[in-house]
Copies of this chain bind each other. A is one copy, B any other.
Amino acid sequence: MPFEDIDTPALIVDLDAFERNLRKMAEAAAGAGVRFRPHAKTHKSPVIARRQMALGAVGVCCQKVSEAEILVAGGVDDVLVSNQVIGASKIARLAALARQARLGVCVDDLGNVTELAEAAHRFGAPLDVLVEIDIGMGRCGVPPGAPALKLAEAIVRTNVLRFAGLQAYHGSAQHIRKHADRREAIARAAELAASTAQRIRKAGIACDTITGAGTGTYEFEASSGVYTELQAGSYIFMDADYARNLEADGSTFRRFEHALFVLTSVMSRAVPGRAVVDAGLKASSVDSGLPEPWQLAGARYVGASDEHGVLEFTGRAPAALALGRKIMLVPGHCDPTVNLHDWYVGVRGLAGKSPHVETLWPVAARGAGF
């Protein structure tokens, strides 16, 4: 099917750029000698997870038990829920799933450790448990140091859970614009993770894995000598927000290519200076900024309502932008944008003369929130 026949709005993957991104990060992790466990909350797709593992990833991360269920059902055999799993129902599902695949989970609460141990015992399933430490993000996780040791000791005492190490993800560092500031944030995070791991090891407990990192900071965790595993996810697609980060030389962060787009059609040209497109809040998440028109000089996406996007132009709108004309948008934030769609439309040869649809992939874990 030719590219121009795709109906809109549609979630497009530029397969060529996507595959270059896949390889680039796999090589970066291998080159740094750290394990790579990409975050599947970006793509919500066992197909993509398996391709990441085929290039050397040890497994993937996700945030919810329902995501893990869908990944395992799709053939992924090593999943870390890089998040707390709370409540009897979700814990039972997690333990049941651990019979089918290697499963890990994070904790920041003693009572939660007890509940996980009971479920792991009941289901006869091993479970890797990491202690999440808050190394600067201000979300989940116990403070580094003594509180983390206390939890590690509790995990070891259960005799049924395996203490696997530390979850030390610094989410808010990912979008710090200046390279030096990101480096500094991760240097502090790595220090806190290292001293916590040392404390745990001094207590006679092995602390093999220190896992974290995202697309904005992976280079610092990779070279830290502390982190043993990287969790970057967005690198496969790159969104407009990540593209606002800066490199050390002040240039914008372009080491990965935009590979995810929302294809949209012009649906109203009733006013000369304006074009309205058929992709709004239901097609592109705006939590990290509006989507940006791709390769459409002078155009700005200035407003999103549920089913409409308004484009304005420097000067007059191009006459070529007639009703039905399709344009591509780079989403502001890839993860929640993917979550709005049921399918990826994988396009080959987008930079060439006859781009075409090569594959459709379901966004299998779309809406998987439990």
Verify if A7 is at the interface (C-beta below 8 Å from B).
yes
Q: Is the interface on chain A under 10, 10 to 19, 20 to 34, or 35 or more residues? A: 35 or more
Task: Name the residue on B nearest A64 (C-beta).
Answer: B307
Residues of B within 8 A of A310 (CB): 138-139
Contact of A140 among B7, B276, B324, B335 (CB under 8 A): B276
Verify if A367 is at the interface (C-beta below 8 Å from B).
yes
Q: What is the copy number of this chain in the assembly?
A: 2
* A45, chain B: closest CB distance, angstroms: 15
Q: Is the CB of B86 within 8 A of A278?
A: yes
In the complex where A287-B281, A340-B339 touch, is A267 in contact with B84 (Cβ < 8 A)? yes
In the complex where A90-B7, A111-B323, A285-B281 touch, is A140 in contact with B341 (Cβ < 8 A)? no
Verify if A78 is at the interface (C-beta below 8 Å from B).
no
For this complex, 23 residue pairs linking A to B, each with C-beta atoms less than 8 Å apart, are A7-B87, A7-B90, A8-B87, A84-B268, A86-B265, A86-B324, A87-B265, A87-B324, A108-B268, A109-B268, A138-B274, A138-B310, A139-B308, A140-B267, A140-B270, A140-B276, A140-B308, A279-B369, A282-B369, A287-B304, A306-B336, A341-B367, A366-B367
Task: Give the B-binding residues of A (Cβ under 8 A).
Answer: 7-9, 41, 63-64, 83-84, 86-87, 89-90, 108-109, 111-112, 134, 138-143, 147, 171, 265-271, 274, 276, 278-279, 281-283, 285-287, 303-308, 310, 323-324, 333, 335-336, 339-342, 366-367, 369-370
In the A-B complex, the 7 residue pairs with the smallest Cβ-Cβ separation, listed nearest first, are A140-B268, A108-B270, A63-B307, A281-B336, A86-B267, A142-B270, A84-B267
